[in-house]
Structures are given as structure tokens and as C-alpha cells.
Amino acid sequence: MSIVNVMWASGAPFASTHKVHHQILSQAPAAASIETWLLQGHASECGVFVGKVREWGLSSARLKGRHFWRLTQPWMHYGFQRALEASDARVLLLDGLGVARALLPVVEEMPHLHAVVIFHGSTRLNAFDRALFRRLPATRMTLVAVSQTLATSLNQDLQLPVMTLRSAFDPAAFRSALLTREQARARLGLPLDNTPVLGAVGRLVAGKGFGCLLDAFAAALHERPDMQLVIVGEGVVRAELEARIEALGLRDNVLLTGHLSDVAQLYRAFDWVAMPSLSEGLGLIMQEAVMAGVPVLASDLEVFREQLAHSGWFAPVEDVNAWRDAIVRAFNVSARTIAADQYQELAPDQAWQSFRQTSRALLS
């Protein structure tokens, strides 16, 4: 049996997506042959092992059929079909809407193929997309969302069944790779004493809400001037965040580390992890932090409440005053107690077993 895992691109912006697909593929039958296609980017930028890799080197314009490239789409589809025939694939794992648009017309012409489309976040579906998904019967295509919140939204939009596969990690393997608090703080150049540290992890893009976090943190420093904030990640709003740090006088209290490939090992450097996102499909950072024994302060989003329920510490999206109050309050309670409550609610061990069973069914 051959499985082809088709990803839009490699690189840091797609790291979470690759993690999810890596976890799904880890549950494939032992005898299965796995090949990953990168429509854009290079295998060296994937960050996780995704099997044998084929790099297509296609531009976004060509993949989306823009302008002149619309005329070349039949040739692109023919190339995909020839490659799928050569791989003897039976299952295609497709990364979201963009990849589905490019590959589902090919799947239509190859009746032995079963497509599994994984949605990682909210997306804008148009009439063409709805028609495309309806052309394939349920026996030949499975739609999957990484959270129940996302699955419900997609089901309402598409009027098609959408399975929930809440992304999960092997808790034992994850914890075994963690650095100690002292090691992680040394790696980040932080004080090794009891200095309170608030951490945040994610791409530096507007949707992650780091601007609001900086404003709230600056206000919270008036009551807790000893705090440090560390933001791990890289992205297009870095210069804007750096300017904000300067304007708020936070140079001595805030560290922008850039992208760190070993960030999953560093959570114990933090006393709390902040997730001020404006929206999320799931938010893998929440799972990683909780598995590391670090409590999470998050935006009041339905998908976060789905995971942490009553144990969650939530603040309204982009409400600077509420985030300031929440930060101050967080550093005046027992982080260990909150972390234990959140671990019990998230139930990573049970979630991992459910994820394994569902992934195996999808790939069988």
C-alpha cells in the first residue's frame, strides 16, 4: 500500500501543519510506503520527517490557475496523475483547501484513490469549492478537521460530513525531550533564578495577537516590574513588534528570539504561556505547553474552550485591559495547580489514543 502526503509548502509558517501530518503518518501500517509531495519549498525546511519527498517547485500563480496559468492546469493535472500512477498510491492525505483544489480534480479521474482532506484552520470557501467537494462521494473522500469547533463550522458551510481528528502528540515522547527549567532558561539566555517569565510561541503575524500582548504586558509591569516576556517565532510583523517594544520602553523586559527549531523542548523556561490569537483552527501550542506542565492564558475562543473548558484562563480577544489584569492575576496564583487542572482537562494520554485509532482508520 502506498500513501502520498501532499503539502502546500515547507518552511516555518507551515511547521504546525507538518507536525500534524507527521503524527498522522506515524500511524500508517508498517508495510505502507509513504511519499510526501511539496508543491512549494524544500524537504530540508520541513522540520519533521515526512518520508520520501518529491519537490514540485510550483508557483502559487500556477497552482491557483491565475491569469495565463489557467491554460496550463490540464498539463499540471496530467503531471500529478502520471506521478500518482507511478507511486501506486491508494490514499492521498491532502493539506487543506489549496491542495484539495489542485488535487481533487485528479482524484476524480482515478477511481482507485481515496482522498483525505485535512483542514487545519478556518478558510473561505466559494461556490467552486463547494461544488468540487460534492463531486466526490463519501466512499472516495473523507473531510477531516483538527478540532470539533472547526468541524462544525465546515459542516455548516459545506453541508457535508466532516470528521473531527483533534491533533495530539504522544505525551511520553514529548515530555522525554523537554529540557529542564534551568537548561531551557540557559538556552534562551534568561535568568536562572525565580524571575517570572511569560512565554509565547507562534508566527509573528497579525492574527497571533502579539501586539495586544505587548501592550498588556507593558501595563502589567507597573504592578509586577520583575516580569520577563519571551516571544518565540518569526514573521512579517517582526519590525512592527520591535518598534512597539521600543515605544513602550520594553527593551529590558521583552525578548524576541526569532524562529527556534527546538522550541518544543523549551516550554519549562516559562511560568505561563500566553496565546493571544485572534482565531485558531486548534492551537498546537496549547497542547505542547500543557503537556510540559506549563499553564496557558488564552484568548477567549471557542476552540480553546473546547480543549480546556473550566480549567482555562481566558481573556477577551484584543482586550488590552483584560489581558493586563489576567497576566497580573496569573503571577499571583500557584501555576503548578493551574497546570495540573489543565492537564487533567486536556487529557493528553486519552487524546493521543483516540488520535491514533482515528488516524489508523483514515489510512487503512
**Which domains, ranges and CATH numbers included, belong to the chain?**
2-165 (3.40.50.2000), 171-346 (3.40.50.2000)
- Residue 264: what pLDDT? 94
How far is Cα 42 from Cα 35, in angstroms, rounded to an integer? Answer: 14
**What is the reported pTM?**
0.90
How does DSSP classify residue 281?
S
Spatial strand order of the sheet with 313-315 comes to 254-258, 228-232, 197-201, 272-275, 296-299, 313-315
Beta bridge partners of 93: 5, 116
**Tens digit of each residue's pLDDT, the chain (364 residues):** 799 999 999 888 888 899 899 999 999 998 899 999 999 999 888 777 777 899 999 999 998 888 788 888 899 999 999 999 999 999 999 999 999 999 999 999 999 999 999 999 888 899 999 999 999 999 999 999 999 999 999 999 999 999 999 988 899 999 999 999 999 999 999 999 999 999 999 999 999 999 999 999 999 999 999 999 999 999 999 999 999 999 999 999 999 999 998 999 999 999 999 999 999 999 999 999 999 999 999 999 999 999 999 999 999 999 999 999 999 999 999 999 999 999 999 999 999 999 999 999 999 8
Nearest to 251 by CA among 200, 214, 219: 214
Is residue 137 within 8 Å of residue 107, measured between CB atoms? Answer: no
**Is 112 in contact with 89 (CB distance < 8 Å)?**
no
What single-letter amino acid sits at 199? G
Which secondary-structure segment (H or E) carries 258? strand 254-258
Residue 330: how many CA atoms within 13 Å on its side-chain side?
29
pLDDT of residue 236: 96
Res 177: pLDDT: 97
pLDDT at 222: 96
Question: 97: which 3 cell numbers?
Answer: 483547501
CA atoms of 229 and 37, how far apart (whole Å): 38
Helix or strand (DSSP H, E) at 356:
helix 348-363
DSSP letters along 1-16, please? -EEEEEES--SGGGHH
The pLDDT score that the predictor gives to residue 267 is: 98
Whole-number Å distance between alpha carbons of 28 and 32: 6
